[in-house]
Amino acid sequence: MQKIWHRTFMTAFLLFVIGFAFWGWTLTRSDGKSGTLETITIGYQAGDPVDVARIHGKFKKNMKAAGYKVVFKEFQNGAAEMEAMSSGTIDYARVGDTPPVSAIAQGHTITLVAAGSSKANGSGIVVGKKSGITNIKQLKGKTIAYTSNTSSQYMVLKAIKQAGLSTNDVKLKDMAQSAASVAFAKGKIAAWANWDPYTAQAEVNYGANMIVNGAKLDVNNRDYLISSSYAQEHTDVNKLVVKYLGEEMDWANGHKSKLITLMVKALKLKRTIVAKMVNRRSYAMEAVTTAEIKEEQAIANLFYEQGVTKKQITIKKVNNSK
């Protein structure tokens, strides 16, 4: 009798433990209908594809239905996002094509989760309206502003090289976008390498001329969704994020007028600026292919050649730190 009672007690106890453990698990993972959602944090920049998804709102709703709460954090550029990812502040980041290369060269773990479309037409080097400068060669001896570890640095280096100049022939000035914008407006710099919406703002607000863009330089300034080791540990989340961001990009391509209206309100920019930015690009977010890997490798090669990075690296979809 005592043995039967003991077995009954142990069975009941084990069932209790299993039930308690399952209850605890439901507090961290749910179907979005009950319990606490698992939080994922995504870094973005004003006007980028993740910002488009944030503004439209469907992405966040879809992720919630799948059991995830999405938190968006805005950054001024990809370099700042890399710092946040390194510290564990964000799980994913939407960046341009250059920040991942710099981070990998510095030994960080970087996973290329997805690739977007090119921003070549809205990325370039702008000069003042009355500068009289029409090509890169005319910038010899003049100051060109850029932001280190961003696509603008790659663009400047490639533009100088294609023009038959060297970095010694011009004055390169590393500046944050906000500081460069003020300096450009005051005529303190001759040229400014940047991307939308900053280039569109310069063109509309100051009458700036874009003397060369990414299309002419074969600089795509492609969107990338990247992560650190988080992506390697959460492949199920990766699939959901890419799927639902991709759906938002499809919506954006088919509803540009509506998108412009939403972004004007969200970004607090003139409609002419937002329209210029939106209408000279398309939107996408899908799996990374060998074509994008080759683009990234070209950046890595030029950075090593120009001494920006200290070692030659090989770009892969998953780049683990050593």
User: What is the pLDDT, as a whole number, of residue 258?
Assistant: 98
Confidence (pLDDT) at 123: 97
Average pLDDT over residues 280-295: 96
- Given this model, what pLDDT does residue 246 score? 98
The pLDDT score that the predictor gives to residue 10 is: 56
What domains can you pick out in the chain, each with its CATH number? 38-117+222-288 (3.40.190.10), 121-217 (3.40.190.10)
301: part of which helix (H) or strand (E)?
helix 290-305
CA distance 81 to 99: 9
pLDDT tens, residue by residue, 215-251? 999 999 999 999 998 999 999 999 999 999 999 999 9
Q: State the pLDDT at residue 293.
A: 97
Across all residues in the chain, what is the average pLDDT? 91
Q: What is the pLDDT of residue 47?
A: 95
| Residue from 118, 101, 119 nearest 110 by CA | 101
The alpha carbon of residue 174 and the mean position of all alpha carbons in its chain are separated, in whole angstroms, by: 20
In this prediction, residue 31 carries a pLDDT of 43
Which of 249, 316, 312, 314 has the alpha carbon at shortest distance from 289?
316
What is the percent of the chain where pLDDT is above 90? 87
Residue 205 pLDDT > 60: yes
The pLDDT tens digits of the residues spanning 20-76 come to: 444 454 444 444 444 699 999 999 999 999 999 999 999 999 999 999 999 999 999
Give the pLDDT confidence score for residue 33 in this predicted structure.
Answer: 44
Checking if the pLDDT of 189 tops 60, the result is: yes
- Residue 319's pLDDT band, with cuts at 50, 70 and 90, is confident
pLDDT of residue 25: 44
- Looking at residue 18, its pLDDT comes to 55
Closest CA to 237 of 110, 111, 67: 67
Residue 211 has pLDDT above 60, yes or no: yes
Contacts of 256 (CB under 8 A, 6+ apart): 278, 279
Q: Are the C-beta atoms of 123 and 155 separated by less than 8 Å?
A: yes
Least confident of 30-39, 98-107, 147-156, 165-174: 30-39
